[in-house]
Amino acid sequence: MLLGRGASKVSGGALVNGAVLLFGLAGVLGKLTNLPAPLIVLARVAVAGPALIMWQHWSGARVPVRSPRDRAILVAQGLLLALHWTAFFQSINVSSVAIGLLSFSAFPLFVAALEPLTLRVRPSRAQVGAALLVGMGVYLLVPTFSWTNPSAQGVAWGLLAALTFAVLSVTNRWLGTRYPSVMISAWQDLAAACVLLPVLFFIHPARLTTPRELALLLLLGLGCTAVAHTLFIEGMRSVSAQLASLVASLEPVWGILFALLLLGEIPTPRTLLGGAVILGAVVGAALLARRGGAPSVPLK
């Protein structure tokens, strides 16, 4: 059931947290496929897009796009989504699940800079301080600043994923006042699938025919994309993009746990230290926001 604009902050927070758990599993499933990042993303959105369209018809959530400008924004978001997920899975492929997720969790830094400019929202001191601590945690992830170092490559790709996701977070919050979250997700996934189709001319998809890869990609496309993406957008109807992004920084906790259980990846002490700084920033900001009772900011 889709939530209305009057959804409580508790409901929005629960939706965002549920989406974050699924997002944490996504990187592990992608690495388990052993496929190139663009091919993982193409399969992911090719599964998620049609699934969301079917859900719109079944639930009656289908809404026509109101203007050519909105249509252009939705298509542009799809292009950005393709870049975001490609950078995210590339980060994990060249380094580890922990490095990819922890570097991606720096996106509150970008949201804190973008949301005041686009939505006329003044960030709180707690949010700014938490974003800076997240940046410090990411700095700890890089042992040596050399492109030949896999960790440095992973962090670079992860930061690109963080920047693109920050832009998506802010624009999704604005679109969420005009269209159902399922429709937004469907448009973005279908646009991303279209822009990634040429990948098939360069990367042979024969390995997708194996039952193992197909099962992993179906789970990635349905559970970790169609469901998770929609829940996250829906949750941002009643919480600010900054607060939602800080909650989403908990994604590495779930991802590292799943990577340990399913891949046997054990983070290094330096990686764990960087992750601890990031987690401390997120928990601290969440506690301060709850104590202060910060309301959801009116959307423009």
Q: What is the mean pLDDT of residues 225-249?
A: 73
Is the pLDDT at 25 greater than 80, yes or no?
Answer: yes
CB proximity list for 34: less than 8 A, separation 6 or greater: none
Q: What is the mean pLDDT of residues 268-292?
A: 73
Q: Could you tell me the pLDDT band of residue 94, with boundaries at 50, 70 and 90?
A: very high
Is the pLDDT at 56 greater than 80, yes or no?
Answer: no
Q: pLDDT at position 147, please?
A: 74
Tens of pLDDT along 57-80? 776 666 777 788 888 888 999 999
Residue entry with tokens 């965002």: 16
Calpha distance 285→205 (Å, rounded): 44
Q: Could you tell me the pLDDT band of residue 81, with boundaries at 50, 70 and 90?
A: very high
Give the residue with greater pLDDT, 9 vs 176. 176
> What is the reported pTM?
0.79
Q: Could you tell me the pLDDT band of residue 90, with boundaries at 50, 70 and 90?
A: very high
Helix ranges (H only) for the chain are 9-33, 37-59, 68-94, 97-104, 107-119, 125-139, 150-175, 181-196, 211-221, 228-235, 241-248, 251-262, 269-292
Q: pLDDT at position 136, please?
A: 81
Q: What is the mean pLDDT of residues 29-34?
A: 92
Q: pLDDT at position 259, please?
A: 94
Give the residue with greater pLDDT, 193 vs 275. 193
Provide the residue type at 43 as one letter.
A
Q: Could you tell me the pLDDT band of residue 274, with boundaries at 50, 70 and 90?
A: confident
Q: Could you tell me the pLDDT band of residue 115, with boundaries at 50, 70 and 90?
A: low
Half-sphere exposure of 42 (CA within 13 A, CB side): 18
Domain ranges of the chain: 9-292
Residue in 1, 42, 46 with CA at minimum distance from that of residue 226: 46
Q: Over the chain, what is the mean pLDDT? A: 79
Q: pLDDT at position 289, please?
A: 56
∠ CA(36), CA(111), CA(84), 5° rounding?
A: 15
Q: pLDDT at position 3, please?
A: 44
∠ CA(256), CA(257), CA(260), 5° rounding?
A: 85
Is the pLDDT at 225 greater than 60, yes or no?
Answer: yes
Q: What is the mean pLDDT of residues 256-271?
A: 90
∠ CA(74), CA(156), CA(167), 5° rounding?
A: 25
Q: What is the mean pLDDT of residues 152-160?
A: 91
